[in-house]
Structure 1
Amino acid sequence: MKTIIATIFIIFLSFTAQAQNTTEEVKVETIEMTIVTETTYELNVEAKTEVARLYKFKNSRIKRDLNFLTKANKPKMA
């Protein structure tokens, strides 16, 4: 009984979805644009001093941060 009602409901929904009028056409306004053929490049020559850090080992900061200890890591006496 439940399956029969469910199939009738699905068929009813499909008929109502097909009965809607969607013939309205929407006109879109197009814009004509030209292609740019000239390009200009500007260089900003400013003296900037940047500091770079050099670590002795690769990924040393990441390894240090991931190697933390918590209270749960300490051994307990039974």
Structure 2
Amino acid sequence: MKTIATIFFIFFIGTAAQAQNNTTDVKVVTIETSIVTETAKELKMETKNEVVRLYKFKNARIKKALSFTTKRNKAKMA
């Protein structure tokens, strides 16, 4: 009895879903725009004087920072 009721319920839901009329057409409003073909190019020439540090060796500041030693870095005799 339970299976018959389940099949009837599924059949009823399926036919109710197909019986709906969704035939409304949505019209899209189009807007016409013009194409711009002229482009203006402007170049701004600015001179900047900046000071740059020049190191003799590559990554000199990094190597100096990584090569620090502390008092406890020394080897001890056991």
TM over 0.5: no
Q: TM-score normalized by structure 2? A: 0.40
Pair member with larger Rg: 2
